[in-house]
Amino acid sequence: MTVATLRIEGARISGIPSLYGELNRVFMPDEDWTLGESLDALDDLLYGGFGVLDGAAPVRVVWADYAVSAEALGTAATRAWYAAKLARPEVYAAGQARRALDALEAGTGETYVDLVRQVFAGHPNIDLVLE
């Protein structure tokens, strides 16, 4: 069986908005709509059925220049992401965001890139290769 290979260009990622721009470029090139900036939306995308993924078909995703994008999606970007959630407690679970931000500040929390990798890890048909 031939496994499709997709390539995320990590050097194009300078923060959360550009991450989703790159994901849309890679996974949604022929769609007339784009993926929103949401980990839940990314998870839905990785189940397949729209964009370039075909359900549970195996696929290899190479994340080139991962270190560049990992830095861009690191502590500073994650801090800002949680702060935006805390500023809108009527929309987001502020308690959960506060605990996650506190853990991040204590050096034990996960960064946004960690969360993205967790989403990918939840899809066993996707082989994520970090370069």
For position 63, what pLDDT does the model report? 98
Packing angle between helix 39-46 and helix 16-27, nearest 10 degrees? 20
Provide the whole-model pTM: 0.94
Per-residue pLDDT tens for 10-66? 999 999 999 999 999 999 999 999 999 999 999 999 999 889 998 889 999 999 999
Express each pLDDT in 99-124 by its tens digit.
999 999 999 999 999 999 999 999 99
Question: What is the pLDDT, as a whole number, of residue 2?
Answer: 56
Helices (H) and strands (E) in the chain, counts: 6, 3
Question: Could you tell me if 126 and 116 are in contact, meaning their C-beta atoms sit under 8 angstroms apart?
Answer: no
CATH 3.30.370.10 fits 1-69+114-131, yes or no: yes
Task: Identify the pLDDT of residue 100.
Answer: 95
* pLDDT tens, position by position, 87-101: 998 888 889 999 999
Distance CA 57, CA 26 (A): 16
Residue 33: per-residue pLDDT: 94
Predicted pLDDT at 125: 95
Secondary structure class of 130 (helix, strand, coil): strand
